[in-house]
Amino acid sequence: MKKQERQQLLKRLLTSREIERQEDFVRLLSEDGIHVTQATISRDIKEMQLVKLPAESGGYRYSLPVQKKIDTQKKLQRTLQNAYISFAVQDQFTILKVLPGNGPVIASLLDQMRYEFVFGTVGDDSSVLTICVSHQGALQLEKTIDHMLAD
Amino acid sequence: MKKQERQQLLKRLLTSREIERQEDFVRLLSEDGIHVTQATISRDIKEMQLVKLPAESGGYRYSLPVQKKIDTQKKLQRTLQNAYISFAVQDQFTILKVLPGNGPVIASLLDQMRYEFVFGTVGDDSSVLTICVSHQGALQLEKTIDHMLAD
DNA sequence: TGTGAATATCAATTCAAC
DNA sequence: GTTGAATTGATATTCACA
């Protein structure tokens, strides 16, 4: 049993079972006849960049890596905090005013976040127009941006 | 100092500092004159659904929640595992054949994943055409899909 | 390099108090 | 409902060795 094969198996387990603890991996693997210790699982998890998430259910779940999304959100937040001027909502539209030069990057980052309430975004030098799926959606976007600015 | 204020502060710290351990939070808060214990931070982290990520640098970082991205990936993987028929690469293009009805949802999920090597995706009833940024990118997409199917 | 055994470190929970 | 102190529980690392 090579490390790589084991790690493939870990991924498979991750999507097919609820893994709360590293010991769960140890147990499930041993049911498949693969005997490793928690120490090895810990190393695998680090290497695979798996994460332990607080689950909605109240417990914890191990999950696949998520680095990119986080990076995007961080960048958007930082950019907003640096460049924000004003925000307005009308119907399903929003207009975000930002410091010159920041419109396109913010529009792009908003796109990348793939908010389900955003239909599309376009940014010129100092404005970002967002078309939301509804007025409700526009309000959600407002809330989201407020949060980022407040954080 | 209310819990909510403290949690806002935690978010701010998260984006402005590198937090490796819960004790880092305790220390940084106490520098701001806010005295709580690791137990409280642990509860905050659970409630805010923060995650401890294996960092590229080798250590660990606490980070903002990431549930949505994970959900998307899981859904894409499950859908692919259910509906996959074949995959082909030519130049910077790929054609994925799937069971009837699954093309649009897979195209959409692929879009949502925002793979940096994918330029654009379009799905009809049973096919998904992806335009990648390069032939290399197309190969990366192939690898990604293979992984999902293998997991 | 990869691993287990033991250990150290870190995180989650319990329990009492407010 | 919220917290700290103490504790338990879980995870990361060290060290020896294959």
Is A108 an interface residue toward B (CB < 8 Å)? no
Per-residue pLDDT band for B145 (boundaries 50, 70, 90) equals very high
Q: Residue B108 contacts by C-beta under 8 Å, 6 or more apart in sequence?
A: B123
pLDDT at B114: 67
3-state DSSP call for residue A52?
strand
Cβ atoms of A126 and A99 within 8 Å: the answer is yes
Residues of chain A in contact with residue B45, where contact means CB-CB under 8 angstroms, are: 54
- Assess whether pLDDT exceeds 70 at residue A128: yes
pLDDT at A143: 87
- Assess whether pLDDT exceeds 80 at residue A105: yes
Is B51 an interface residue toward A (CB < 8 Å)? yes
pLDDT at A69: 64
pLDDT at A55: 77
Burial state string for A121-141 with b = 16 or more CB within 10 A and e = fewer than 16: bebeebbbebebeeeebbebb
- Assess whether pLDDT exceeds 90 at residue A54: no
What mean pLDDT is predicted for residues A117-139? 91
Residue among B11, B69, B151 minimizing CB distance to A11: B151
* Summary mean pLDDT of chain A: 88
- Assess whether pLDDT exceeds 80 at residue A147: no
Cβ atoms of B65 and B59 within 8 Å: the answer is no
Contact B54 A50 (CB under 8 A): yes
* Dist CA A1 CA A5 (whole Å): 7
Nearest protein residue to the C1' atom of D6, measured from CA:
B39
Question: What's the pLDDT tens digit per position in B91-142?
Answer: 999 999 999 999 999 998 998 776 768 888 999 999 999 999 889 899 989 9
Q: Which residue of B has its CA nearest to A67?
A: B53
Residues of chain A in contact with residue B73, where contact means CB-CB under 8 angstroms, are: 64
What mean pLDDT is predicted for residues A78-100? 94
Cβ atoms of A87 and A142 within 8 Å: the answer is yes
The length of chain A, given as a count of residues? 151
- Assess whether pLDDT exceeds 80 at residue A56: no
A57 or A150, higher pLDDT: A150
A104 or A11, higher pLDDT: A104
pLDDT at A21: 95
Give the nearest nucleotide to A24, CA to C1': D10
CA of B148 to C1' of D12 (A): 28
Question: Of B74, B73, B45, which Cα lies nearest the Cα of B61?
Answer: B45
> And the tokens for B78?
């499950």
Lowest mean pLDDT among A130-144, B66-80, B123-137: B66-80
Q: What are phi and psi of B91, to 5 degrees?
A: 50, -130
pLDDT at A68: 59
- Assess whether pLDDT exceeds 70 at residue A67: no
What mean pLDDT is predicted for residues B41-49? 92
What mean pLDDT is predicted for residues A16-42? 92
What mean pLDDT is predicted for residues A107-128? 86
Query: Most confidently modeled of A8-12, A62-66, B82-86?
Result: B82-86
Could you give the residue ranges of the DSSP H alpha helices within A17-96?
A: 22-31, 38-48, 67-83
pTM, two decimals, is: 0.56
pLDDT at A57: 67
